[in-house]
Amino acid sequence: MPEVDVFTAIANPARREVLRLLRDGGPHPVAQLAERFDMSRPSLSEHLRLLKDAGLVTERRAGRQRLYSLEAGPLHELAGWLAPYEQFWREKMSDLATFLDADDD
């Protein structure tokens, strides 16, 4: 089990931005990520550590660099929990439409 849940991990806009960069641009070395943020390297490292603990990113060495990649698997946990709620209301709206068609005065 990851030490940090997905909700905590994505609660922060900077961490969501990291995920977006990794999604759109593929694996990034940490230096390249750092260029995109107006924050200290230790702060960015802290965000990356938390994303790693949540299982959302992986880190591997490539020569002298550390490369970060997106691991989208845990996001399914999120979608699995959330999608049903919106789906619930859409189904209920549809049930209401069916009900009204049959609801004679």
Partner 1 sequence: MTDEPASIEVDQYLPHPPGKVWRALTDPARLATWLMPSDFAPVVGHRFTFRTEPRPGFDGIVHCRVLDLEPERLLRWSWCNGALDSTVTWTLAAEGHGTRLFLRHDGFDPGDPWQQQAMRIMGGGWRSHIMRALEAELNAG
Query: Smallest distance, Å, CB 34 to partner 1?
Result: 19
Site size for partner 1 (CB under 8 A): 34
Among the residue ranges 13-21, 29-37, 43-51, 58-66, the one whose residues contact partner 1 (CB under 8 A): 13-21
Q: What are phi and psi of 87, to 5 degrees?
A: -60, -40
Q: What gap in Å lies between CA 68 and CA 56, rounded to an integer?
A: 10
Q: What gap in Å lies between CA 98 and CA 91, rounded to an integer?
A: 11
Q: What gap in Å lies between CA 81 and CA 3, rounded to an integer?
A: 19
User: 3-state DSSP call for residue 100?
Assistant: helix
Site for partner 1 in 35-94 (CB under 8 A): 72, 75, 78-79, 81-86, 89-90, 92-94
**Which chain residues interact with partner 1 by CB under 8 A?**
5, 7-8, 10-11, 13, 16-17, 19-20, 23, 72, 75, 78-79, 81-86, 89-90, 92-100, 103, 105
